[in-house]
Amino acid sequence: MSAPLWLPDEMTAAVQGAASGALAPATGVSIDSRSLQQGDLFVALITNTDGHAHVAGALKNGAAAAIVSHRPEGLAEDAPLILVDDTQAALERLGQAARNRSTARIAAITGSVGKTSTKEMLAAALGPQAPTHWSAASYNNQWGVPLSLARMPREARWGVFELGMNHSGEIAVLTRQARPDVAIVTTIEAAHLEFFSGIEEIADAKAEIFLGVPATGAALLNADNPMHGRLAAAAKAAGVGRILSFGVADGADIRLIGIEPDATGSAVEADILGTRIAYRLGQPGRHLVMNSLAVLGAAELLGADLPLAAQALGVLQGLAGRGRQQVIAVGDGEAVLIDESYNASPASMRAAFAVLAAAKPLGRRIAILGDMRELGTQAPALHAGLADPLVAAGVDLVYTAGPLMRHLHDALPARMQGAWRPSAAELLPRLIDGLRPGDVITIKGSLGSRMADIVKPLMAGAAAASRIAS
CATH number for the domain including 59? 3.40.1390.10
What is the tens place of the pLDDT at every residue in 234-274? 999 999 999 999 999 999 999 999 999 887 889 999 999 99
Strand-pairing partners, residue 259, are: 268
> Among 315, 337, 357, where does a domain finish?
315
Per-residue pLDDT at 304 exceeds 70: yes
Average pLDDT over residues 19-44: 96
The answer to whether position 96 is within a domain reads: no
- Domain shared by 172 and 299, yes or no: yes
Average pLDDT of the chain is: 93
pLDDT band at 468 (very low <50, low <70, confident <90, very high): very low
Identify the CATH number of the domain in which residue 128 sits.
3.40.1190.10
- Domain shared by 169 and 122, yes or no: yes
- Domain shared by 73 and 133, yes or no: no
Identify the CATH number of the domain in which residue 353 sits.
3.90.190.20
The answer to whether position 16 is within a domain reads: yes
Pairwise CA distance, residues 416 & 397, whole Å: 4
Least confident range of 12-16, 183-187, 359-363, 385-389: 359-363
Pairwise CA distance, residues 161 & 145, whole Å: 7
What is the tens place of the pLDDT at every residue in 374-423? 888 899 999 999 999 999 999 999 999 999 999 999 999 999 999 999 99
The answer to whether position 234 is within a domain reads: yes
- Domain shared by 39 and 160, yes or no: no
Per-residue pLDDT at 462 exceeds 60: no
- What is the reported pLDDT for 169? 96
- Domain shared by 126 and 268, yes or no: yes
- Domain shared by 151 and 187, yes or no: yes
The answer to whether position 2 is within a domain reads: no
Report the domain count for the chain.
Answer: 3
pLDDT band at 2 (very low <50, low <70, confident <90, very high): low
Per-residue pLDDT at 37 exceeds 50: yes
SS (H, E, C) the chain: CCCCCECHHHHHHHCCCEEECCCCCECEEECCCCCCCCCEEEECCECCCEHHHHHHHHHHCCCCEEEECCCCCCCCCCCCEEECCCHHHHHHHHHHHHHHHCCCEEEEEECCCCHHHHHHHHHHHHCCCCCEEECCCCCCCCCHHHHHHHCCCCCCCEEEEECCCCCCCHHHHHHHHHCCCEEEECCCCCCCHHHCCCHHHHHHHHHHHHHHCCCCCEEEEECCCCCHHHHHHHHHHCCCCEEEEEECCCCCCEEEEEEEEECCEEEEEEEECCEEEEEEECCCCHHHHHHHHHHHHHHHHCCCCHHHHHHHHHHCCCECCEEEEEEEEECCEEEEEEEECCCCCHHHHHHHHHHHHHCCCCCCEEEEEECCCCCHHHHHHHHHCCHHHHHHCCCCEEEEECCCHHHHHHHCCHHHEEEEECCHHHHHHHHHHHCCCCCEEEEECCHHHCCHHHHHHHHCCHHHHHHHHC
Q: What is the pTM of this model?
A: 0.86
- Domain shared by 153 and 172, yes or no: yes
**Parent domain of 21:** 8-88
Average pLDDT over residues 194-219: 94
> Among 315, 339, 370, where does a domain finish?
315
- What is the reported pLDDT for 332? 85
- What is the reported pLDDT for 74? 87
- Domain shared by 455 and 421, yes or no: yes
- What is the reported pLDDT for 192? 66
pLDDT band at 447 (very low <50, low <70, confident <90, very high): confident
What is the tens place of the pLDDT at every residue in 45-62? 998 899 999 999 999 999
The answer to whether position 281 is within a domain reads: yes
- What is the reported pLDDT for 464? 44
- Domain shared by 249 and 356, yes or no: no
> Among 270, 293, 315, where does a domain finish?
315
- What is the reported pLDDT for 470? 33
The answer to whether position 179 is within a domain reads: yes
Order of strands across the sheet that contains 28-30:
18-20, 81-83, 65-68, 40-43, 28-30
- Domain shared by 25 and 157, yes or no: no
Q: Which amino acid is at 189?
A: E
- Domain shared by 203 and 155, yes or no: yes
The answer to whether position 94 is within a domain reads: no
Average pLDDT over residues 179-195: 88
- What is the reported pLDDT for 461? 63
The answer to whether position 132 is within a domain reads: yes
Other CB atoms within 10 Å distance of the CB of residue 324: 18
Average pLDDT over residues 106-111: 98
Per-residue pLDDT at 467 exceeds 50: no
Average pLDDT over residues 178-199: 88
- Domain shared by 24 and 119, yes or no: no
Per-residue pLDDT at 469 exceeds 50: no
What is the tens place of the pLDDT at every residue in 339-387? 999 888 998 999 999 999 988 888 999 999 999 998 888 999 999 999 9
